[in-house]
């Protein structure tokens, strides 16, 4: 409508004559506070006007924000078909879209949307998150792309907002992992935990132990061809994530969940005999030989090679479900492995079982099942990542009719995935103990990216909001309306989401 008005003076005259009373009301409502943001920002104010994105709009960026400017231009191009020019500038322009460095180093950002100029200011990470917010505020009507004017101030509640992808049970290639990273980026998540090894497969090249991938990575659950990332490919994933302000946490699970290792190198078994490759889904039957010296040489090589190509500060040592490792062996093993991780300048992360051992300074315990373990970890000074299987496991079925997924922890409908609060989950775990939230996707039953999408959408945006938005601002009945608005966007993006009956999807 507005384009028409602009194009023809005659049109304006005709409309003015025949519709004099509704000239303003003709426009779609331009109320920024009505935008369906996920996660919900700290504050949104509307000023009632609109900013129009046209082919002439330029994205200006201060130095250091070029990658985010290019990202915004590419995303706008995908959803609108117009490719905006980007330009580095030192001073604020009078019109266009302007990414400005605020001088802060946290993840907060501010957006002001005027009729001529949109300014997003923050640290590089803050600006990137602000860009996600701006993209959610875009309206496309006929040929017009507009944003309602106003102001947004925003910052996250938790510093750690993650998801995990199990690439060991089923392998997901570089392109698929990039798509997963894109899902995280849309909702301002900042951590991707990659579960890189398990009984069924080893998925990252280790140059000093090549059989790990050539043999140990050759299969996956069900017996199909597995796969692995070369170190060059892994670096590309790290880079792709970094451009989206997402840190990759590599996990090498040990001493259990190691059958693929034990099949690749006979000497890592206590009896010196290589195991067969495993394509089933049992857990708890494998263990590294904790009292052989070569085991620690192996671990040191693995941690060193992976740490060299991982700029993020974390290294995840797994440590879960080591049912075949007696506790008297498990404890010194976990303690020694933590020292190895420290010697490569990384921060230790492990599943809650590691709290049975002594913990090094800075160690992080990932709560998934056992509150007592987690409480022990807190007692030993650890921070906690909240991934309670009953609420946050994206491999759990939605309900009894879900074909994919498992159900050992719970059925997790979309409301159950959203409607809980990390700091009120367990008496033993308080706000000050919590680093953040992570939603894992285990892949025993999930074989390709379409199936990933089905398990992840629409639950993932909820975990992102739990991580970003303060608990007193979250409410399922209000959230479900916002969530419903995303169905059409996902349709357009070709995302195979679960059309949950508890979400009031738009027709």
Question: Min. distance of Cβ 440 from ligand TNX in angstroms?
Answer: 7
Distance CA 27, CA 470 (A): 34
Question: Min. distance of Cβ 339 from ligand TNX in angstroms?
Answer: 22
- Check 107, 144, 305, 321 and give the catalytic one: 321
Closer residue to ligand TNX, CB minimum distance, 58 or 406 = 406
Contact by Cβ (8 Å): 469, 40: yes
Distance CA 213, CA 221 (A): 15
In three-state secondary structure terms, 282 is: coil
Q: What share of the chain is helix, strand, coil (3-state, %, to 5)?
A: 40, 20, 40
Closer residue to ligand TNX, CB minimum distance, 246 or 365 = 365
Q: Could you confirm whether 321 is annotated as catalytic? A: yes
Closer residue to ligand TNX, CB minimum distance, 115 or 323 = 323
In three-state secondary structure terms, 459 is: coil
Closer residue to ligand TNX, CB minimum distance, 69 or 359 = 359
- Residue 193 has phi, psi (to 5 degrees) of -95, 120
Closer residue to ligand TNX, CB minimum distance, 138 or 406 = 406
Helix or strand holding residue 129 (H, E)? helix 124-137
Distance CA 206, CA 196 (A): 12
Question: Min. distance of Cβ 141 from ligand TNX in angstroms?
Answer: 44
Could you identify the residue written with the tokens 């920024």?
32
Residues in contact with ligand TNX by the rule CB under 6 A: 283, 320-321, 351, 368, 393, 395, 406, 442, 444
Closer residue to ligand TNX, CB minimum distance, 368 or 479 = 368
Contact by Cβ (8 Å): 182, 246: no
Residues with Cβ < 8 Å from 333, sequence gap 6 or more?
Answer: 254, 255, 288, 290, 325, 357
C-beta atoms surrounding 58 within 10 Å: 17
Residue among 317, 246, 196, 315 at smallest CA distance from 467: 246
Contact by Cβ (8 Å): 482, 37: yes
Question: Min. distance of Cβ 411 from ligand TNX in angstroms?
Answer: 13
Question: Min. distance of Cβ 428 from ligand TNX in angstroms?
Answer: 19
Bridge partners for 348 per DSSP:
315
**Rounded (5°) CA angle 302-304-307:** 105
Active centre residues (catalytic): 321
């Amino acid at each position: 409508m507005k384009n028409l008005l602009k194009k023809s003076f005659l049109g304006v005259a005709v409309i003015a004559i025949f519709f004099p009373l509704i000239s303003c009301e003709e426009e779609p409502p331009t109320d920024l506070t009505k935008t369906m943001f996920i996660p919900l920002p700290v504050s949104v104010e509307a000023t009632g006007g609109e900013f129009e994105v046209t082919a002439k709009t330029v994205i200006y960026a201060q130095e250091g924000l070029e990658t985010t400017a290019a990202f915004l231009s590419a995303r706008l191009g995908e959803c609108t078909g117009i490719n905006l020019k980007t330009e580095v500038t030192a001073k604020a322009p009078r019109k266009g879209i302007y990414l400005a460095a605020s001088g802060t180093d946290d993840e907060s950002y501010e957006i002001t949307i005027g009729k001529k100029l949109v300014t997003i200011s923050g640290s590089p990470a803050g600006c990137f998150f602000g860009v996600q917010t701006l993209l959610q505020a875009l309206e496309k009507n006929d040929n017009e792309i507009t944003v309602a004017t106003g102001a947004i101030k925003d910052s996250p509640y938790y510093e750690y907002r993650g998801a995990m992808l199990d690439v060991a049970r089923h392998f997901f290639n570089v392109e698929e992992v990039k798509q997963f990273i894109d899902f995280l980026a849309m909702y301002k998540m900042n951590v991707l935990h990659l579960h890189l090894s398990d009984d069924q497969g080893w998925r990252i090249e280790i140059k000093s132990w090549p059989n790990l991938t050539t043999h140990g990575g050759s299969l996956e659950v069900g017996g199909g061809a597995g796969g692995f990332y070369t170190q060059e490919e892994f670096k590309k994933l790290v880079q792709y994530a970094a451009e989206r302000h997402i840190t990759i946490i590599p996990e090498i699970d040990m001493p259990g969940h190691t059958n693929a290792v034990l099949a690749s190198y006979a000497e890592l078994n206590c009896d010196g005999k290589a195991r067969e490759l495993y394509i089933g889904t049992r857990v708890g039957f494998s263990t590294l030989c904790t009292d052989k010296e070569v085991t620690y040489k192996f671990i040191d090589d693995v941690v060193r090679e992976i740490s060299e190509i991982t700029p993020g500060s974390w290294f995840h040592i797994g440590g879960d479900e080591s049912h075949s490792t007696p506790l008297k062996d498990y404890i010194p093993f976990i303690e020694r492995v933590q020292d190895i991780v420290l010697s490569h300048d990384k921060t230790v992360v492990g599943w809650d079982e590691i709290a049975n051992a002594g913990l090094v300074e800075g160690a992080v315990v990932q709560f998934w099942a056992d509150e007592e373990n987690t409480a022990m970890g807190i007692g030993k000074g650890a921070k906690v990542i909240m991934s309670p299987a009953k609420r946050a496991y994206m491999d759990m079925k939605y309900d009894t009719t879900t074909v994919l997924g498992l159900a050992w922890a719970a059925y997790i409908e979309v409301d159950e995935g959203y409607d809980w609060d990390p700091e009120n989950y367990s008496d033993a775990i308080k706000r000050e103990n919590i680093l953040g939230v992570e939603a894992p996707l285990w892949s025993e039953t999930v074989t390709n990216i379409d199936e990933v999408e089905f398990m992840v959408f629409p639950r993932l945006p909820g975990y992102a909001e739990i991580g970003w938005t303060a608990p007193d601002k979250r409410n399922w009945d209000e959230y479900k309306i916002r969530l419903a608005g995303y169905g059409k966007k996902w349709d357009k993006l070709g995302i195979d989401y679960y059309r949950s009956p508890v979400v009031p999807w738009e027709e």
